[in-house]
Structure 1
């Protein structure tokens, strides 16, 4: 990936499907990802890392076992490492995620929703 300027809105326009994270930038060993979300994801845990969600548009609910965290545009929430969670978007949400580059989107759950980190065109 080059060190050129990237535009978040242009990057999101190039994402055809929800739940398919795309690499916007790298910061050391971390990936800054853009993603479209729609519907409910899978319950999963990232045992070794926190996961930062920044909602750009829409409304995202991060379901935790003991509560729901509701995020609107420009809200940020960090899911601590080891905490089981399940993102849910009732309508399309655009979000930015920050986590280590090697982090798998479905964490320990695996399954058909596991998606490789894609490069943007």
Structure 2
């Protein structure tokens, strides 16, 4: 039997920011947790939407034509092709869903390697 995934347990296994960790998969998508603090780089994903669900803390997703601020239990989907930059003033824990292999910066040359935990 496959065990349930405890997101708090997975998040306790690392401390680095902006380094997504894969905790499972769903129909060809990576289910990832990430700790965020400070500003991420402006980027876009030309072929896929970007799903963010805040678990703890607050996250502002800046886009060129406005921004949205999320608290615990709130989610936002950045449409494909929309340039955005996640920003967090405090450490924030997030669940992200993306097609497997999607570079987190939108560019394989600058993306971090996602690891399974």
Alignment TM-score, normalising by the size of structure 2 = 0.95
TM-score normalised over the length of structure 1: 0.92
TM-aligned CA deviation for residue 15 of structure 1 = 1.8
The match for 1:67 is: 66
Q: Tell me, which stretches of 5 or more residues in structure 1 are unaligned?
A: none
- Large movers: runs of 4+ above 6 Å: none
For 1:86 and 1:61, locate their aligned partners in 2 and report how far apart those are by CA, in whole Å: 8
Q: Which residues of structure 2 form unaligned runs of 5+?
A: none
Q: 2:112 aligns with which of 112, 115, 118?
A: 115
Q: Report the equivalent of 1:6.
A: 5
Aligned-residue Cα RMSD (Å) equals 1.4
Whole-angstrom distance in 1 between the partners of 2:113 and 2:52: 18
Pairwise CA distance, 1:28 = 1.7
